[in-house]
Amino acid sequence: MKIRHAAARFLVAALIGLWCVGASGAVVNLPKYNVSVNDVSVSGLSSGGYMAVQMHFAYSATVRKGAGVVAGGPLYCSEGNVLIAEGPCMNGGGSRNLSFLLSTARTWSRNGYIDPTRNLFLSKVYLLSGTLDSAVLQPVMDDLRTMYTQFLPSANIAYKNDLAAEHGMPTDFFGNACSVKAPPYINNCNFDAAGHILNWIYGPLRAKKTGPLSGVFLNFDQAVFWGDFNPTAHGMAESGFAYVPANCAAGQVCRLHVAFHGCKQNADNVGDAFYRNAGYNRWADTNNIVVLYPQAARTAANQYGCWDWWGYEDLNFPGKSGGQMVAVKTMIDRIVSGNAAAPFKCVDWFSNNLVHVANRRAYVGRNGQVYAVNSNQYLGFYSASAFTSVRNTSAGYYAYGKCS
């Protein structure tokens, strides 16, 4: 009975939030939905493709269903160096040192910097590289495919590398000509990339919606997912977007797909083009999929509003402790916490680091420095005078900050 009452409260809150957005465009708190923890996936284009790879590897225990990557590359391809990012990881020239990247992924898996790579084995991966792509050349995507073959069966990997497309998200209904590289970096190629990604990851889906969508677009607050409530200082916008089908808003069991835009493709640059017209929502509408569209933002070190895949925001950008990574992870945790079977709800504590360690919310690392359990976020020194807020957003996962 308590579960039913809680679900009802979540549903009422979600419906009120949806109504407010539909009526006024107001920014709301991201609601909780009846999303299975087993049905979370990610995808992205360009820097969003790199971000999708990072999320898939770092949080493979959370992103269980799989990933779609359009014009991306191997995990940690940049090695934290913008010159490598703009060179071998985009133009295909020079060495991406794939053996080193594979060794690094395995080391990180063993030491907890990312989730165990064995989690990847049952997931599905869809890769797409256009033959005309002049920004991220096919040898880069070839290396990403090779990397994935080391961790999951080849039969679980689809690689589309024969589409005559420039750098952009291919669709069958919206965008520039397929051979054009220009804003909004969505190309009408008579090819439904989002549909292929979702059908590959989730298995054969119901036909996509051809008429008006049933659901609503949310503009949600991203600041609450940062411990310092200041996303713009870290390369993320104050708010993000989500598409919520009517069935999901009504409490039916749904799935979650996180779609990362590319550089120069956030809402500040292209308006609603990506979150409305990248192709995901038509499939989401008929297949009970909530689509989350987090938003990056321009900073002095990130003039094009890219996701952090070379370290402009955080040296720990590809790991579980990376700032943008934690923000998106806690968004996922919030959404799926609306499922009655989810074994967790967000709880937070404000205390000194001695207490956090004593209660196994944190651990002491080198030189007396304290880190949150599982996210590995730095909390300060092991001292009674070092006070921090720590939140538990999913089973065994603690991060800096308060619950939203």
The residues annotated as belonging to the active site are 46, 133, 167
Secondary-structure breakdown of the chain: helix, strand, coil percentages, each rounded to the nearest 5 = 35, 25, 45
Residue 249 CA neighbour count, 13 Å, CB half: 20
Q: In degrees, to the nearest 5, what angle opens at C-alpha 346 toward C-alphas 343 and 347? A: 115
Query: What is the C-alpha separation between 401 and 368, in angstroms, rounded?
Result: 21
For residues 47-65, b (16+ Cβ closer than 10 Å) or e, as one string?
A: bbbbbbbbbbbbbbbbbbb
Residue 92 CA neighbour count, 13 Å, CB half: 14
Alpha helix positions (H), 25-97: 47-58, 82-86
Laid out side by side, the sheet with 124-128 consists of 157-160, 124-128, 66-70, 35-45, 254-260, 289-293, 239-244, 216-221
Sign (positive or negative) of CA dihedral 199, 205, 210, 215 = negative
Query: What is the C-alpha separation between 268 and 252, in angstroms, rounded?
Result: 33
Query: What is the C-alpha separation between 129 and 166, in angstroms, rounded?
Result: 9
Sequence-distant (≥ 6) Cβ neighbours of residue 95 within 8 angstroms: 88
Taking alpha carbons only, the member of 353, 393, 402, 401 closest to residue 59 is: 393
Alpha helix positions (H), 67-137: 82-86, 98-111
Phi, psi for residue 204 in degrees, rounded to 5: -55, 125
